[in-house]
């Protein structure tokens, strides 16, 4: 059972190198994560069309758009329940089984969304069916993200957990970029009328096929050595895993939730909201803003891996201090720099996108914060509940703050970087004691 004194280090006596099998596991897991996250995020790029196709034609545009975003948000609200249920079985029956089930649960509803009848054909049954499928998607991604972090961290050597979690996080962010590129391709290949008629269905159908490919790829993955050892020693948790988490790992839950809040500030504000914000604040053309967002997302992918390596090299606390400090500075540089010189948009957005890569350190801390017996449940509960709360409130809070100050997005991100630095200082204060949660207790 880990104690607070175990949180900063992650070293273990086993210092084996990263093998070809480890690299193969990381590659397949990251690719599957990218395809699944594409399935979850592609909805947001077609909310306008979905609003027009799935709600009555006499609905006011603002209400139709609100209803469409409500369907998108339903996926986030379903994440905690799906994550908690799948994590329960992941701690009791095995990581691989849930890791494969999550991508299957995402593929089926994504494919069905692409084949759904619209309001014109099915009336109010159409948006209700879409809501149900969106909830299924949310439940699936709620198990996928924490499950993927646990899976890769338990496959690699303890001194490579940062690289593994950073690589997996990079795969998830690559799914966002893939969704953006596919949406751009569809809108360029078809006329607006064709997109309205059938074009919007293509990304969902393609996503469903991608998902089944990910299911096939995950058949080649093996159960984690950590879980297999626990099973052989009959050391699996006997009670409800979540009950054990809430009773004995309160500090780990709080640390994980705070870092998830930091993660939402970087992803939601800098990556997802900023393309729209720079259009309103600085008059950037929509096409130019989206192209810049693609560059930022690609930089984020590279940054996740870089910061994961930094966590292995310097330790989690030092990597967090460095990353949060740079993100705080670069967020202000970005917003003030684009305002003064809009022609620097691409360079500055790429630079701040790389700094958001500090989110690659977050799962490294979380997988080390819980012992193997309840790791999946502890991480899933902390991450999904915090993401549902903070991910949902962040756009509203930032929008309200902007009424008073145009630099509100930078202020919000800076405040959360401060939270990340405080957590990092706490980790550093715990010293370099061995972190027993990396491997099962003897």
Residue 204's pLDDT is: 93
Does 6 score more than 70 pLDDT? no
Token digits of residue 10: 């992650």
Q: What is the pLDDT of residues 402-416, one digit of tens each?
A: 888 999 999 999 999
What is d(CA 43, CA 136) in angstroms, rounded to the nearest whole number?
A: 13
pLDDT band at 251 (very low <50, low <70, confident <90, very high): very high
Residue 327's pLDDT is: 97
Question: 323 and 262 in contact (C-beta within 8 Å)?
Answer: no
User: Taking CA 32 as the corner, what is the angle to CA 29 and CA 37, rounded to the nearest 5 degrees?
Assistant: 120
- Maximum average pLDDT range among 42-46, 60-64, 438-442: 42-46
What is d(CA 207, CA 140) in angstroms, rounded to the nearest whole number?
A: 14
Residue 1's pLDDT is: 38
Q: What is the pLDDT of residues 93-107, one digit of tens each?
A: 888 888 788 888 889
Q: What is the pLDDT of residues 159-182, one digit of tens each?
A: 899 999 999 999 999 988 898 888
What distance, in Å, lies between the first and last C-alpha atoms of the chain?
10
Percentage of the chain beyond pLDDT 70 is 93
What is d(CA 353, CA 333) in angstroms, rounded to the nearest whole number?
A: 12
The CB density around residue 329, as the number of other CB atoms within 10 Å, is 14
Least confident of 190-194, 256-260, 305-309, 430-434: 430-434
What is d(CA 325, CA 317) in angstroms, rounded to the nearest whole number?
A: 12
Does 247 score more than 50 pLDDT? yes
DSSP line for 158-208: GGGHHHHHHHHHHHHHHHHHHHHHHHHHHHHHS-HHHIIIIITHHHHHHHH
Percentage of the chain beyond pLDDT 90 is 41
In this prediction the pTM is: 0.85
| Domain 4-438 belongs in CATH node 3.40.50.300 | no
Return the higher-pLDDT residue of 72 and 261: 261
Tokens 């879409």 locate to 130
Residue 14's pLDDT is: 52
Does 348 score more than 70 pLDDT? yes
Question: 168 and 385 in contact (C-beta within 8 Å)?
Answer: no
Residue 437's pLDDT is: 44
Does 436 score more than 60 pLDDT? no
Nearest to 149 by CA among 259, 12, 314, 44: 259
Element (H, E) at 428: helix 408-429
Q: What is the pLDDT of residues 49-60, one digit of tens each?
A: 888 889 888 888
* Helix orientation angle between 375-402 and 241-248, rounded to the nearest 10 degrees: 70
Does 28 score more than 90 pLDDT? no
**In the predicted model, what is the mean pLDDT of residues 5-26?**
63
Residue 81's pLDDT is: 86
Buried b / exposed e over 219-246, threshold 16 CB at 10 Å, is eebebbebbeebeeeebbbeeebbebbe
Return the higher-pLDDT residue of 422 and 432: 422
Does 260 score more than 60 pLDDT? yes
Query: Residues 6 or more apart from 170 whose CB is under 8 A from it?
Result: 30, 300, 301, 302, 304, 305, 360
**In the predicted model, what is the mean pLDDT of residues 27-39?**
84
Question: 47 and 68 in contact (C-beta within 8 Å)?
Answer: yes
Residue 435's pLDDT is: 38
């Amino acid at each position: 059972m880990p104690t607070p004194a175990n949180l900063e280090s992650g070293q273990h006596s086993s210092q084996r190198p990263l093998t070809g099998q480890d690299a193969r596991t990381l590659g397949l897991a990251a690719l599957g994560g990218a395809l699944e996250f594409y399935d979850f995020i592609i909805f947001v790029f077609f909310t306008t069309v979905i609003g027009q196709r799935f709600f009555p034609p006499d609905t006011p545009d603002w209400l139709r758009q609100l209803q469409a975003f409500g369907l998108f948000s339903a996926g986030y609200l379903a994440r905690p329940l799906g994550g908690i249920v799948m994590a329960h079985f992941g701690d009791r029956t095995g990581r691989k089984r849930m890791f494969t089930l999550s991508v299957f649960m995402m593929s089926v509803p994504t494919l069905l969304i692409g084949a759904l009848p619209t309001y014109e054909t099915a009336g109010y049954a159409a948006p209700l069916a879409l809501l149900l499928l969106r909830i299924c998607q949310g439940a699936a991604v709620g198990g996928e993200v924490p499950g993927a972090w646990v899976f890769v961290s338990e496959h690699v050597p303890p001194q490579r957990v940062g690289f593994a979690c950073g690589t997996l996080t990079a795969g998830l962010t690559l799914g966002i970029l893939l969704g953006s590129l596919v949406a751009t391709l569809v809108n360029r290949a078809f006329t607006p009328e064709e997109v309205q008629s059938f074009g919007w269905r293509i990304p969902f159908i393609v996503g469903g096929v991608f998902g089944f490919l990910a299911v096939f790829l995950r058949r080649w993955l093996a159960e984690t050595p950590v879980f297999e050892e626990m099973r052989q020693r009959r050391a699996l948790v006997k009670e409800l895993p979540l009950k054990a988490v809430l009773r004995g790992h309160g500090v780990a839950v709080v640390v994980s939730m705070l870092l998830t809040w930091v993660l939402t500030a970087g992803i939601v504000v800098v990556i997802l909201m900023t393309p729209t914000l720079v259009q309103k604040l600085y008059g950037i053309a929509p096409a130019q803003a989206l192209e810049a967002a693609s560059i930022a997302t690609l930089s984020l992918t590279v940054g996740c891996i870089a910061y994961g390596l930094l966590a292995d090299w310097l330790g989690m606390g030092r990597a967090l201090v460095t990353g949060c400090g740079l993100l705080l500075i670069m967020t202000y540089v970005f917003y003030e720099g684009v305002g003064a010189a809009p022609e620097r948009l691409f360079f500055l957005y790429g630079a701040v996108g790389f700094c958001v890569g500090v989110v690659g350190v977050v799962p490294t801390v979380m997988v080390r914060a819980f012992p193997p017996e309840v790791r999946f449940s502890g991480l899933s509960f902390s991450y999904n509940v915090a993401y549902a709360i903070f991910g949902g409130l962040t756009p509203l809070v930032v929008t309200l703050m902007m009424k008073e100050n145009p630099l509100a997005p930078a202020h919000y991100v800076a405040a959360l970087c401060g939270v990340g630095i405080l957590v990092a200082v706490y980790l550093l204060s715990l010293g370099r004691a061995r972190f027993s949660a990396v491997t099962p207790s003897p």
